[in-house]
Structure 1
């Protein structure tokens, strides 16, 4: 067994364990954390298949944005775990039937749908000195296509997303009177005399020395 096969079995075992814990964990936060672990192992499998772009997209989009958002939402919500588990055994037969059907369909596709297929290779439209095509990774080939042939569509999509983000911020921005806001222009033009006031105080005096206890008793007598 070579190293690639060993990594495949390692990623697969951890992925199956994480997927099982997603549906069996009682704590929603633990379920989301195991889902993040499952996505990371799936990205490792994509790397073994030489699909670098899909692996990077899975890490950046799902682990870096979606799963973090899910984690914050689950932690902020007051989820009643006991209430959610009520009626579990009532719907278990239907859920088990659907799960077994999906598992059989996936097994049929995986066992009979990919036999005799060769490993895909990404070939860039670049020739070396001998006139042979240069074999590069699919991420590099995709990057060359995006920033050469499809440069303008990519820039237009980026501008549209930027406008949508600014519009969402502008629509949700509300001026509240109970919040303490600071005007940046006032901070720039502030002067030291406006912030600092020097107050004249009298010179400090030495504290009186306490009298001995015997002298104090004599004065009282």
Structure 2
């Protein structure tokens, strides 16, 4: 009984949060409602036993993506009148894309009701570990059977990060560059000064 109540609670809050995310006029409010939708989706994942996906939703989507959206929206000087004008201008295209997505969902539901697609016969090597949690089973697969692919994905992400830094780096005049060797060689006594100000006199800057 409590599982059904939690499911309907999380599902209702997630649907309402997703709808308000789209309908909210303030972009900051939209991001906050999106964060609430992510939290409720994580609750649904916990109910079905997918703790790893729930953790990813909270750490990656809420802790990184949604917070990044929030900072970008708050720091940018957004012209809301221009946004509304662009919304009205692109409304027909948006409705067309929404119709295409709904048709795809409908086709997927019809095809799924006709029978599941057989992609292959499981050989048992990816079966969950006996007595282990969902996260432990995924970790065992990642660091044994899929170790090479896991490390290759990490190298690709590292190369992409370095490439983004190299492509966006620009030499600007009047900006003092960073001397890494000087910073590493700096001693503590050169970086900090211990002062003992007298009572009531404060610190001279």
TM-score range, shorter chain: 0.5 to 0.7
Q: Which residue of 2 aligns with 1:130?
A: none
- Aligned partner (choices 166, 175, 179) of residue 178 of structure 1: 175
- Aligned partner (choices 137, 140, 148) of residue 144 of structure 1: 140
What is the deviation of 1:106? 4.0
Instruction: State the distance in 1 between where 2:114 and 2:48 align.
Output: 15
Is there any run of 5+ residues in structure 1 with no aligned partner, and where? 127-133, 197-221
What is the deviation of 1:109? 5.2
CA-to-partner distance for each residue in 1:165-188, whole Å, 9 max, x for gaps? 345445527475434857325632
What is the deviation of 1:87? 6.9
Give the root-mean-square deviation of aligned CA atoms.
3.8
CA-to-partner distance for each residue in 1:73-94, whole Å, 9 max, x for gaps? 1112111112222375676577
What is the deviation of 1:6? 0.8
Q: Which residue of 2 aligns with 1:61?
A: 60
What is the deviation of 1:26? 0.8
Pairing 1:153–2:152 present: no
Instruction: State the distance in 2 between where 1:66 and 1:166 align.
Output: 20
Bigger mean CA deviation after superposition, 10-19 or 150-159:
150-159
Is there any run of 5+ residues in structure 2 with no aligned partner, and where? 117-125, 195-205
What is the deviation of 1:139? 2.4
Which of the pair has more CA radius of gyration? 1
Contact kept in structure 2, 1:39 and 1:63, CA below 8 Å: yes
Q: Which residue of 1 aligns with 2:9?
A: 10
Alignment of 1:196-211 (within 5 A): none
